[in-house]
Structure 1
Amino acid sequence: MILASPDQRYALALEPEPESYSKWWRISCTSEDENWYAQFGGNTPVEILAGFTDALLAPRPETTPDVWSILIAAGWTYVRDERGHELAEHPDGIMQLRRGSNPDRWNPGWSAAALLPDGLGGLETLWEAHLGNAPHLAAAFATALVDPDPVARAEFDVPHSGLVTQQPGGRQAYELGKEHAGRLARARANSVVRRRTPLTTQPVTGSAPATPAAAVPRR
């Protein structure tokens, strides 16, 4: 399945594969003021993926957001090494967000991964995402990533259930359907606003991370 935005600015392809860790979702933008490519594994939580795609429909912020401050404010650690590589990690070590600094690599962008020890001294990747090099989209992804609100899942449809707290939600299918319909309506409204809003560009500038504060992350 391939979708294109009305202005042909963005393209989204969904190509499911047998392996859920493969790249199922591919999103790209090629224009004069934006040029990036993002891809997401099949196990990427839909709520986090939606945070990224919803930002495509909203007007771009006037200033460049600081992605790292969003995570640090949620209690993540942040380090930048002597080569300029950056890493933010959740305290339990399962979630990471990285950004490399390699002058020989075009458009390195951000990448996220959920990792678990495999019992053999290595790590098992639960899901992985490459976000491209658009700061406002990476910020939207990070905001969804640390959102503490619970998510709806079937009782026996939670991988690694020992890592999460499950509680009966009590919401019925029609309620979830109503919420989804409302979300689609808001997305359409944002799409109309975006088409009517002139596009602007802003220089990308770095900023120092904010002071950490406790919060509960979403995985």
Structure 2
Amino acid sequence: MWFATQPRYLAGRGDPRHITQALRAGGWKNISDADLPQVALVSPDHLYSLLLEPEPEPYTMWWTLNGRRPEQAWGWTARFSSHTPVEILAALTDTLLQPEPDTAPEIWPLLTGAGWTHEHDERGDEIARHPDGILCLRQWHTGTHGRYFWTVETPLPGYRNVWNATLDDVIPQHLLAAFVSALALDEPVQRAMYDVPHTHLVRHEQRGPQGAELAAARKARLATARSLARKARRKAAPPTTQNGPPPAVRAAALPPRPSAAPTAGRGR
């Protein structure tokens, strides 16, 4: 039996396969070490990697995303703790399956338009708060070379964060916007009876899609991931001419692919 759970950002992690199976359907390669209890995936172009490291301690960082643009010597890192709802994180990882758009929306209006408050402090840091006062997004400056970080926090009085996240300042704007847009959503997510770690904080109602409907939604989600991957490959493919060399000759002229994929970093 499945229950519609709100607010979604306190609904617990959900099923990690919601993220990993979609990436695999989108062409990501599993490079996990069979002797370790973790999942490591790398994108077909080797520009992105995902590491899922479950830990016994429930409030540690479980998810690490690394990425870079082709022209960059170094890239960005984003980390998410264990109770990050997979539906929120998937908004970011699903976007990795699509070509980068020409423009991306500004971040703060995505939240203020959903009723969040937005303010500056005396240090120049910025913070937006969910209407209930628990969930917040902060942009804080390190004081080193003008760098800053994005952090998500869910503090409760007398408790640590239910979950938290950190994202580098160089993360592409469209990826950050996809993630922040998911933070602003109010729609419930489906959870089983004992899947929610903080039941006193949520509304847990027996309604919404159940077994067959959820299975159909999962099938459609994976089909969408495959379709997005095909479109991205077609867009990235070099143009060909009708009078060009035959495919075998063109393939022989290409440089060989690397023999081994890079290993995703642990990001402790």
1:78 Cα deviation from its structure 2 partner: 0.6
* Counterpart AA for 1:139: A
- Give percent identity, aligned residues only: 45
Deviation at 1:39, TM superposition (A): 0.9
- Is residue 2:102 matched to residue 1:62? yes
Deviates more, 1:151-160 or 1:169-178: 169-178
- Of the three residues 141, 161, 184, the one matched with 1:125 is 161
Contact 2:141–2:147 at 8 Å: present in 1 too? no
CA offsets 1:86-117 (integer angstroms, 9 cap, x no match): 11111221101011133516753311111111
8 Å contact from structure 2 (residues 138, 150) kept in 1: yes
**Residue of structure 2 equivalent to 1:141:** 179
State how many pairs are aligned: 195
Match of 2:43 in 1: 5
Structure 2 counterpart SS, 1:61: coil
SS of the aligned residue for 1:100 comes to strand
Decide whether the 8 Å contact of 1:109 with 1:134 is kept in 2: no
- TM-score under structure 1 normalisation? 0.81
Change over 3 Å in CA distance of 1:61–1:82 after alignment to 2: farther
Displacement of 1:64 in angstroms is: 3.3
Residue 113, structure 1, aligned to residue 146, structure 2: no
Distance in 2 of aligned mates of 1:124 and 1:13: 24
Closer, same or farther: CA 83–64 of 1 in aligned 2, 3 Å = farther
Q: Residue 178 of structure 1: SS of its match in structure 2?
A: helix
1:150 aligns with 2:188: yes
Match of 1:32 in 2: 71
Query: Using a 3 Å threshold, how does the CA distance of structure 1 residues 136 and 109 change in structure 2: closer, same or farther?
Result: farther
Aligned-partner SS, 1:180: helix
Query: Given the alignment, which residue of 119, 130, 134 partners 1:79?
Result: 119
Greater RCO, 1 or 2 (C-alpha within 8 Å, sep 6+)? 2
Residues 36, 107 of structure 1: 8 Å contact kept: no
Q: Deviation of residue 174 (structure 1)?
A: 2.6
Query: Structure 1: which 5+ residue stretches go unaligned?
Result: 200-219
Structure 2 gaps of 5+ residues are 1-38, 238-268
Aligned CA-pair RMSD: 2.1
Letter in 2 for 1:117: P
Q: Shift of the alpha carbon at 1:147?
A: 1.5
Give the superposition deviation at 1:73. 0.6
Residue 165 (structure 1) aligned with residue 185 (structure 2): no
Structure 2 counterpart of 1:188, from 226, 230, 238: 226
TM-score (norm 2): 0.67
Given residue 184 of structure 2, which amino acid in structure 1 is its aligned partner?
V
